[in-house]
Amino acid sequence: MERILVIGANGQIGSELVDALAEQHGAENVIAADIGPRSLAGARCYETIDVLDSKRLTTIVAAQGITQVYHLAALLSVTGEQDPLRAWTLNMNGLLNILEIARERKAAGKPLRVFWPSSIAVFGPHTPAVDTPQLTVMDPSTIYGISKLAGERLCEYYFSKYGVDVRSIRYPGIISYKSPPGGGTTDYAISIFHAACSGASYSCFLGPDSTLPMIYMPDALRATMELMAAPAEQIRVRSSYNVAGLSFSPRELAAAIQKQRPSFRIDYRPDHRQAIADSWPQSLDDAAARADWGWNPQVGLADLVEDMLLHVSKVTRLHSQAA
Ligand code: AKB
């Protein structure tokens, strides 16, 4: 039986991952944790944790008999640039605290499997932008990307030096409707649906041809859980896996929305986020993830757009009824 701690449970990924894990492992075995009070309804166990507080983390892991940690707390690419020192401290020291606890638990014969998300932000302007390989030039230009690259090296180090069973995915932009994204460069691909569903036009902060790798939340959750469920000997990459979902530009996404909402209008006003997008890949080669643990994306652009429009419309209707 697994006992699972999800740190960053109130965030975009955490809020959905907690439900998916509860379904698989039983709600009583999933402990949701975040720095503030619980922001989502639900009867499962919740702990208030600052991931920088290693003493409290150690106590909770021991007291709850935790066997798996999903450590999702981080500052993303845009919010990271607003306070680089805070981003570095949170992103690096949070990960180090978890890896140290996993090292100690392993030495005590109580191994802890760790999931930690990396990002396409580990790549930079000199990385091949199309079908970006698993192993390639990495010269990130944001503090977020720098912290994720350093984090990848730490994960591999803790695996090869201490045998810590740490696993990771380089998430593309994740598209979802249940909770808002947290300050990233790929957020436009969510805001655009909220504009389309409330009848507004959308002013995009990236240019029309800024193609980026993206993934729909159900695929992202499946990738995360399949990676964590795979036998340890199959996990040959202990830094972080490229995982591709789909790739599209704002122009292509807008056209797909217009097929279903012909009156939807978009204009383009690139701002400071354009430089970040320009330094990231357009598409990823995820052959290693496919070969090692059977990754296979399922959601294409047309299905993603249809599902997002359906669900964001419902949320928009509920909000306007409540107002
Ligand atoms: C961001 O845009 O910062 C994130 C990411 C790609 O890691 N969504």
Which residues, in sequence order, are bridge partners of residue 216?
Answer: 175
Nearest to 304 by CA among 136, 114, 176: 176
d(CA 75, CA 84): 9
**What is the number of the ligand 1 atom nearest to the C-alpha of 185?**
2
| Residue to mutate (ligand 1; options 141, 169, 171; most atoms within 8 A of CB) | 171
Strand duo 68-71 + 4-7: pairing: parallel
Residue 92 to residues 1, 54, 209, 237: CA-CA distances in angstroms? 30, 13, 33, 20
| Minimum CA distance residue for ligand 1 atom 6 | 173
Strand partners, 213: 247
* CB-based contact 6:70 (threshold 8 Å): yes
Residues 24 and 132 in one domain: yes
Q: Per residue of the chain (323 residues), give pLDDT as tens.
A: 999 999 999 999 999 999 999 999 999 999 999 998 887 655 479 999 999 999 999 999 999 999 999 999 999 999 999 999 999 999 999 999 999 999 999 999 999 999 999 999 999 999 999 999 999 999 999 999 999 999 999 999 999 999 999 999 999 999 999 987 789 999 999 999 999 999 989 999 999 999 999 999 999 999 999 999 999 999 999 999 999 999 999 999 999 999 999 999 999 999 999 999 999 999 999 999 999 999 999 999 999 999 999 999 998 888 777 77
Q: What's the 67 CA to ligand 1 centre distance in angstroms?
A: 28
Residue 39 domain flag: yes
Relative to the CA of 174, which ligand 1 atom is closest? 8
Q: Are residues 156 and 95 in the same domain?
A: yes
* 3-state secondary structure at position 214: strand
Q: Domain containing 168: what range?
A: 4-172+216-242
Give the strands of the sheet with 246-248, arranged side by side. Answer: 173-175, 212-216, 246-248
Alpha-carbon Rg for the chain in angstroms: 19
Q: Alpha carbon of 152 to those of 82, 92, 253, 260, 321: distances in Å?
A: 23, 10, 31, 40, 45
Tell whether 165 and 256 lie within a shared domain. Answer: no
Model pTM above 0.85: yes
Residue pair 108/65 in contact by the 8 Å Cβ criterion: no
Residues shown for the chain = 323
Calculate how far, in angstroms, residue 183's C-alpha sits from the geometric centre of ligand 1. 8
Catalytic residue at 158? no
For residue 12, how far is its CA from the centre of ligand 1 (angstroms)? 11
* Whether residues 145 and 277 fall in one domain: no
Closest atom of ligand 1 to 144 CA is 3
- Pair (237, 318) in one structural domain: no
Q: What is the number of structural domains in the chain? A: 2
